[in-house]
Amino acid sequence: MTTRAIPFCLALLLAAAVLVFLRFHRPLEPEPAPPASAAQAKAPALSDLAPIPDWDALRRFDGTISRAEFIRQLDEVFTVSPAWRNWFEVSDDHVRIHANPGEHLVLKFAPDGSTAQPPRTWRSIDQLPPAPEGRPLDGVRIAIDAGHIGGRWGKMEERWFQLPGMLPVQEGDMTLIVANLLKPRLEDLGATVTLVRKDTEPVTALRPERLREEAASSSAGGDIVKLAERLFYRTAEIRARAQLVNESIQPDIVLCLHFNADAWGDPSLPTLVPHHHFHMILNGGYTDDEVALTDQRHQLLTNLLQGVHDEEAGISRSVAAAFVERTSMPPYRYDPLARNARNVDGDPYLWARNLLANRLYECPVIYFEPYVMNSQEDHARIQAGDYEGLREVAGQRRPSIFREYADAAALGLERYYERGRRPDPANKSVISPE
């Protein structure tokens, strides 16, 4: 080899090294753990019965949210720790989101102060025209989701108890009574109302027997029969309702009706407690483990980018105020050490939590948790059943617990829409429910 050939060889070697580096080094990809098999390496981490999410669908939100608002909502509403930054790499003008394994989605931010309307099927109060006199809910599309299934499924779904010699208490039946009372009240105010379920049968076509295989492969562990039942009444049922809400009903808001309870122990010899309480649940407070699941990260982002939170907070605040006015129930207190709930705006009645229903329904979800079914007072009122007018129950003359619930919910909605839809545009800014 002549001395003149040495620089040429060095250049060749250098070029080869650069090629090898480019082939094997992808600087932006996270280093994956050694895969057990190629198929396993590609499988995204998913919640029970969740389909692989369509990340491309989120491209429609490109340029619709400012950087400051994006970070604020993730920090203050949707998560409980800064660990979300492992999945969302925020730059000056865009965010790079870890999507399915090996894939990323890049979304550009809108300039600060920009008011681009996010694409969505539901309408916030700002998008609704002024309402005619006496019909503040005119044209508002509302879905009422009576929580749980009830009927012959109540014992399986563990929302049933019965004191010896008394009537059974079954949440899924009670929420349906409230739904049927609330529907005509909201229609009188101008709303178009759809019940997500009309009877005490499941919306899903799946049954526990068909979910045993999924139960066996579930990470939860334990009794397969019980796991399959839970996958049926909790997971498959709510996923079926979400499909109905998102694809067919497409409402402006969903009302999720529930009755709360404290631990009652043996359902045939339940414990009654002396106090009751009330709170409303907004979507948020995703734990680090939940943000790490591909489908939950996708759904978090969908809710955030659609602007669900502000509308949920406004309506929930108005409804909570009406409930407190009518019932004087104290707020439910979350364990300050619990890492799965966040208070909203300092209102003691509003809490952000990541529940399957408020995560999956792609619109503002007004999620009610009033009363304690096994409190002495509310239990006596449930035993009295539904009735018109006032009656002496548990030492007070009062309406039935079901009518009180429906009336307070209707009042909170009426006030929210009435304030925001007055014909005078000068009143448009007076939306704050206080």
The one segment of 146-154, 208-216, 225-233, 301-309 that binds Zn ion by CB under 5 A: 146-154
CB of residue 202 vs Zn ion: minimum separation in angstroms?
15
Sequence-separated (6 or more) residues with CB below 8 Å from residue 354: 283, 284, 285, 286, 287, 290, 296, 300, 340
Q: Which is nearer to Zn ion, 144 or 293 (CB)?
A: 144
Tell whether residue 258 is a contact of Zn ion (CB under 5 A): yes
Q: Which residue is nearest to Zn ion (CB)?
A: 258
The interaxial angle of helices 401-420 and 308-327, nearest 10 deg, is 130
Contact indicator for 142, 252 with CB cutoff of 8 Å: yes
CB of residue 258 vs Zn ion: minimum separation in angstroms?
3
Tell whether residue 279 is a contact of Zn ion (CB under 5 A): no
The one segment of 28-36, 180-188, 253-261, 334-342 that binds Zn ion by CB under 5 A: 253-261
Tell whether residue 197 is a contact of Zn ion (CB under 5 A): no
Q: Which is nearer to Zn ion, 87 or 332 (CB)?
A: 332
CB of residue 351 vs Zn ion: minimum separation in angstroms?
15
CB of residue 357 vs Zn ion: minimum separation in angstroms?
10
Burial class (CB in 10 A: 0-12, 13-18, 19+), 245: buried
Q: Which is nearer to Zn ion, 97 or 356 (CB)?
A: 356
Q: Which is nearer to Zn ion, 147 or 412 (CB)?
A: 147
Q: Which is nearer to Zn ion, 53 or 147 (CB)?
A: 147
Q: How many CB atoms lie within 10 A of CB 207?
A: 12
The dihedral sign for the CA sequence 265, 268, 269, 275:
positive
**Binding flags for Zn ion, 34-53, as an x/- string (CB under 5 A):** --------------------
Tell whether residue 147 is a contact of Zn ion (CB under 5 A): yes
The one segment of 94-102, 206-214, 254-262, 298-306 that binds Zn ion by CB under 5 A: 254-262
CB of residue 147 vs Zn ion: minimum separation in angstroms?
4
**Residues touching Zn ion: how many (CB under 5 A)?**
2
The one segment of 68-76, 177-185, 252-260, 334-342 that binds Zn ion by CB under 5 A: 252-260
Q: Which is nearer to Zn ion, 147 or 284 (CB)?
A: 147
CB of residue 257 vs Zn ion: minimum separation in angstroms?
8
Q: Which is nearer to Zn ion, 258 or 353 (CB)?
A: 258
**Binding flags for Zn ion, 295-334, as an x/- string (CB under 5 A):** ----------------------------------------
Count, residues in the chain? 434
Q: Which is nearer to Zn ion, 70 or 160 (CB)?
A: 160
Q: Which is nearer to Zn ion, 291 or 355 (CB)?
A: 355
Tell whether residue 150 is a contact of Zn ion (CB under 5 A): no
Which residues are at the interface with Zn ion (CB under 5 A)? 147, 258
